[in-house]
Amino acid sequence: MSLNIIVCVKQVPHPEHFSRITLDPIRQTISREGIPAVINPLDLHALEEALRIREELSGKVTAISMGPPQARCALEEALAIGADDAVLLCDKSFAGADTLATAYSLACGIKKLGRFALILCGNETIDSATGQVGPQLAEFLGIPHVTSVIQIAFEQGSSLIVRQALEEGYMKVRVKLPAMLAVAKGINQPRLPTVWAIMEAGSKEMQIWGASDIGATQDMIGLEGSPTHVTGIFERDTTRRREILEGPPRQIAKKAVNRLHELIAT
């Protein structure tokens, strides 16, 4: 069996720099300018799973991302880790997309890639974290999907048995290929790219497709194609009263208890 596997990769702000993200109350947008970006952590697990399947059954792994030109770096990293190919969907008209418009654009790109057996996504991102893109993508492509996947096993023929994590255990689900699986953290331990692979990835060819290349309908993409719109964006007021208690640990503990009693009483 040889499989075409597509991995959806989103570039997100580096979690260590989240505190530098600011809100623009006029344009109602989030400003990520100058903040280092990384591949969404769960997408690394999706990529790792794709590589393991390719190693076991042979096939091809294609990483795809919709994003601004700098999302190219995320795809270069995916190539360095082991993806065979990478496609960046990049066009000004994709800007302002909500999850539905994002999923539609990805679906158009994936249709252009041709036949595939499996799409792997992260269960959610660390910046918007809706968990909607994978299932919406599956709906656009008319294929089944399973979320919170923590194990994938191939059956003879064209189906999979996957473990879906539940709050108190897991559920085994049989799913026919082609399918979309959104993976959760426990599924594997992502590998790191070698220095040599990082250097080589920069010279690998990457396809960059705009809206017209993927035959996307203009009123289904970007801001225009987004049924949800941000109508207000607010920064939480984090001004707090601060008191520093000084002294040896026992005394501080006593002072803290007394202060808490005082504060509860007021």
Residues 100-119 close enough to bind ligand FAD by CB under 6 A: 102, 106
If one asks whether residue 188 binds ligand FAD (CB under 6 A), the answer comes out as no
* Touching ligand FAD, residues 44-63 (CB under 6 A): 46
Pairing of strands 179-183, 118-122: parallel
80 contributes a contact to ligand FAD by CB under 6 A: no
128 is a contact residue toward ligand FAD (CB under 6 A): yes
Cβ-based neighbour number of residue 219 at 10 Å: 9
Q: Does 124 bind ligand FAD (CB under 6 A)?
A: yes
Q: Which of 1, 129, 199, 233 binds ligand FAD (CB under 6 A)?
A: 129
d(CA 10, CA 180): 16
Closest by CA position to 232, among listed 78, 55, 25, 72: 25
Closest CA to 15 of 44, 39, 46: 39
**Residue 9 sits in the site that holds ligand FAD (CB under 6 A):** yes
- Closest approach, Cβ 183 to ligand FAD, in A, equals 9
* Residue 105: closest CA among 129, 153, 71: 71
CA 20 to chain centre: 20
DSSP β-ladder status, 179-183 and 59-66? unpaired
Site string for ligand FAD, 224-253 (x = CB under 6 A): --x-xxx-----------------------
- Start-to-end Cα distance in the chain: 71
| DSSP for residue 127 | S
When asked if residue 29 is in the footprint of ligand FAD (CB under 6 A), the reply is yes
User: Residues, the chain, total?
Assistant: 266
Q: Which amino acid is at 215?
A: G
Minimum CB–partner distance for residue 248 and ligand FAD (Å): 48
Report the residue from 125, 147, 164, 188 that binds ligand FAD according to the rule CB under 6 A: 125
Kindly tell me which of 126 and 173 has the beta carbon lying closer to ligand FAD: 126
Q: For binding to ligand FAD (CB under 6 A), which residues are involved?
A: 8-10, 29, 40, 42-43, 46, 65-67, 95-99, 102, 106, 121-122, 124-125, 127-134, 226, 228-230
